[in-house]
């Protein structure tokens, strides 16, 4: 079954080609760039894909939905919690201070990775942010981030961010089966986090089609990151969760800056874009609030939640310390286990602020163990 459509523009007269493109995609703007990397396509109308790395002469639907005789729609396995706009606007940039050698190692590794990701995605924004209050005009000139560069960064960031949750969930799953012991709710949260990050990536892929260079960057980056994270999680899960907490701090910073750029009028194309259907369904985005800015608010809120969750998990016991006794067998025998995951637990006092799945109670630097356990 071929679900894509293509039109070779060079085979048609210029006037006919232009009419066909307008009828299929509405008004179209093409800006070419380095071969194999990216070309900008702005669409209005039926297609919502914002830019593509396919050749300008070939228009096709990227990542089409599968067509079957029986299935109408495939629902998301994990239903996303409902966020209010007040909660999403309340998300703020935050940083957890280093309190141990484990935290320091995690922050150093994150700093190195941040530099590498900035280099690969062409991210240059710090100077513009520093000048914003002193000289707004100079800040606009210093900012080299446009819509294309932001989308490159989003895709690369989300492709990497989907790794840690899956690795941690996988290793804890095998550990639970191998040791024949409970996991106390950690696996579910970790796998859902990975699923959520993948939904971010799929959303951006509905708006931008990566070219061969981007695919190679993701392939190489994910291959190295996956294997390194597996090894590190086997050695020190606490350090890995702290690392992910710091990584999500950077993600919140990234999305906050792009939202500020949209509000400042620096990204006029983003002001025209609408969230794709996959995002509307996943986040239950209300009618009238489905712009690119609205979409970024939802994604930033998710990253803020991942930041809080991983900092919290990094504060909990992961060494198998005895938490309860099997008195029915031997009153003096301890059964080693991890702290229970507070994000999948019911609390005795639900009215008191505590870790929750949504962003009702926000704690950017994580909940301390005595607060959640």
Which residue ranges are tagged as binding site for Fe cation? 158, 197, 200, 248, 303, 306
Contact 282, 342 (CB under 8 A): no
The Cα–Cα gap between 163 and 193 comes to: 10
CA 254-255-259 angle, to 5 degrees, is 120
Q: Is the dihedral of CA 163, 168, 171, 177 positive or negative?
A: negative
Output b/e per residue, 152-162; b: 16+ Cβ within 10 A: bbbbbbbbbbb
Write out the H or E segment, with its range, that includes residue 208: strand 208-209
> Do residues 155 and 214 touch, judged by C-beta distance below 8 A?
yes
DSSP structure class, residue 260: H
Q: Rounded to whole angstroms, how far apart are CA atoms 315 and 44?
A: 47
Show the tokens assigned to 34. 């380095």
Binding residues, by number, are 158, 197, 200, 248, 303, 306
Q: Are residues 133 and 273 in contact, defined by beta-carbon separation less than 8 angstroms?
A: no
Alpha helices, DSSP H only, in 2-48? 14-25
From residue 171, alpha-carbon distances to 10, 21, 177, 187, 191 in Å are 52, 49, 10, 9, 11
């Amino acid at each position: 079954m071929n679900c894509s459509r293509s039109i070779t523009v060079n085979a048609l007269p210029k006037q006919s080609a232009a009419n066909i493109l307008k009828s299929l995609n509405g008004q179209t703007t093409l800006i070419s760039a380095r071969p194999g990397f990216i070309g900008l396509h702005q669409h209005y109308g039926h297609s919502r894909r914002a830019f593509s790395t396919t050749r300008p002469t070939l228009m096709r639907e990227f990542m089409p939905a599968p067509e079957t005789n029986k299935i109408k729609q495939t629902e998301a396995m994990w239903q996303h919690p409902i966020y209010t706009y007040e909660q999403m606007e309340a998300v703020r940039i935050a940083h957890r201070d280093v309190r141990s050698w484990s935290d320091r190692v995690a922050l150093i590794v994150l700093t190195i990775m941040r530099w590498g990701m900035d280099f690969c995605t062409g991210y240059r924004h710090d100077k513009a942010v520093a000048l914003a209050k002193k000289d707004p005009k100079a800040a606009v000139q210093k900012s080299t981030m446009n819509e294309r560069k932001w989308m490159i960064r989003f895709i690369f960031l989300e492709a990497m961010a989907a790794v840690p949750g899956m690795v941690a969930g996988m290793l804890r799953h095998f550990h639970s089966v191998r040791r024949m012991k409970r996991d106390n709710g950690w696996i579910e949260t970790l796998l859902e986090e990975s699923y959520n990050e993948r939904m971010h990536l799929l959303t951006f892929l509905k708006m931008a089609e990566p070219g061969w260079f981007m695919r190679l960057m993701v392939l190489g980056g994910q291959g190295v990151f996956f294997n390194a994270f597996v090894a590190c999680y086997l050695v020190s899960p606490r350090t890995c969760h702290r690392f992910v907490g710091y990584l999500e701090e950077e993600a919140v910073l990234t999305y906050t800056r792009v939202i500020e750029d949209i509000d400042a009028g620096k990204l006029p194309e983003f002001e025209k874009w609408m969230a794709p259907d996959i995002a509307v369904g996943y986040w239950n985005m209300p009618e009238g609030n489905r712009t690119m800015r609205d979409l970024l608010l939802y994604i930033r809120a998710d990253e803020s939640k991942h930041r809080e969750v991983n900092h919290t998990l990094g504060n909990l016991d992961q060494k198998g310390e005895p938490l309860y006794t099997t008195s029915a067998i031997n009153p003096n025998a301890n059964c080693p286990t991890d702290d229970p995951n507070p994000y999948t637990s019911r609390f005795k006092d639900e009215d008191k602020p505590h870790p929750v799945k949504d962003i009702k109670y926000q704690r950017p630097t994580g909940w301390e163990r005595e607060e959640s356990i």
